[in-house]
């Protein structure tokens, strides 16, 4: 009898730019202060990609190359590359194509996937389907965002939250029951009014007026988003445990999207997890949108043990949210 094929994460890579933007730097730009930012978000600093003509692909490419180096993988072996981002290098072509070109993945097909802060989870489930079908053997999922390119540094409510960064994982077939075991993904487009970019799309193309009105930046109604996020992320994470007959005791780590420390705490509490089992690096990197979850995996990689059950959880613009159960494979 054929064993069930699952998609296992077999390597992780990451990249954050060197330049730091601290809360004290922000105090000089907008009316805010370090204590206010830390108590409300948990963030002390974030990384910013500086340099003329640099985009998301310039962070994603080194993250994927690091993954290849660690795994001893020739980029020519990659079958598919999925780039999850809301800050593509250009509107088109897909940033995935540019990444593949930069790393020499000449045999891969690639496309971008846009689900805001839940992007990496959506990408993971999509990539896993390619593996489970038996059609492809090596799928790379990258979560990357250069949020500094769409953040209004005159808006103190949003500019304190976001940073730049990239993380990537390799998915390969597994027959030992390890890898991505279950996912619950949700979306609700009625939430789009609370978190979006006003202009630059087909509905409202760029014009002198839209630029002057500062409509090419992320717009967020913080209170509404916070309320939905706390409920959405906690609910779906608890539902995932229940569906798989697991409790917090069975989970080695929660890998939450790093949007806000209070949302992370609410999710952990709902799952019955102590703080020691929660990956948190928001204080260093802020919210890198699709980059948060893979950057956590990248930082905690050496603490993950073969057989560990971990839960990845996110909430983002769309609204999109979800939770994924992973059994660590190495």
> Which residues carry out catalysis?
117, 257, 287
Distance CA 107, CA 2 (A): 29
Contact 59, 166 (CB under 8 A): yes
**163: nearest Cα among 329, 317, 288:** 288
CA 17, 23, 27, 31 torsion-angle sign: positive
In a 3-state reduction of DSSP, which class is residue 115? coil
**223: nearest Cα among 286, 287, 269, 158:** 158
> Both tokens of residue 191?
């939430």
Contact 84, 112 (CB under 8 A): yes
Distance CA 147, CA 116 (A): 11
Distance CA 179, CA 289 (A): 23
């Amino acid at each position: 009898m054929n064993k069930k094929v699952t998609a296992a994460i077999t390597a992780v890579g990451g990249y954050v730019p060197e330049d730091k933007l601290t809360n004290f730097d922000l105090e000089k730009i907008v009316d805010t202060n370090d204590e206010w930012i830390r108590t409300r978000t948990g963030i002390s600093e974030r990384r910013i990609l500086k340099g003329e003509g640099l985009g998301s692909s310039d962070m994603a490419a080194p993250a994927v190359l690091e993954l290849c180096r660690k795994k001893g993988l020739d980029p020519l072996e990659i079958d598919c590359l999925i780039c999850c981002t809301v800050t593509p290098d250009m509107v088109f072509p897909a940033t995935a194509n540019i990444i593949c070109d930069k790393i020499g993945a000449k045999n891969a097909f690639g496309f971008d996937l846009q689900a805001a802060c839940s992007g990496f989870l959506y990408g993971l489930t999509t990539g896993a389907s390619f593996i489970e079908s038996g059609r492809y053997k090596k799928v790379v999922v990258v979560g990357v965002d250069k949020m500094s390119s769409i953040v209004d540094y005159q808006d103190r409510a949003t500019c304190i939250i976001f940073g730049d960064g990239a993380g990537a994982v390799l998915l390969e077939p597994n027959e030992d029951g390890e890898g991505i075991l279950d996912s619950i993904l949700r979306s609700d487009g009625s939430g789009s009014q609370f978190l979006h970019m006003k202009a630059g799309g087909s509905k409202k193309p760029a014009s002198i007026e839209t630029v002057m009105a500062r409509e090419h930046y992320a717009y967020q109604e913080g209170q509404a988003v916070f309320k939905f996020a706390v409920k959405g992320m906690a609910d779906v994470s608890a539902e995932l445990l229940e569906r798989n007959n697991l409790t917090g005791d069975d989970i080695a780590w929660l890998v939450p999207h790093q949007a806000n420390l209070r949302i992370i705490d609410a999710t952990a509490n709902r799952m019955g997890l102590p703080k020691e089992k929660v990956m948190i690096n928001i204080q260093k990197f802020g919210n890198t949108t699709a980059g948060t979850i893979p950057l956590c995996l990248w930082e905690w990689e050496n603490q993950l043990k073969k057989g560990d059950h971990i839960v990845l959880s996110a909430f983002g613009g769309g609204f999109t949210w979800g939770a994924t159960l992973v059994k660590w494979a190495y």
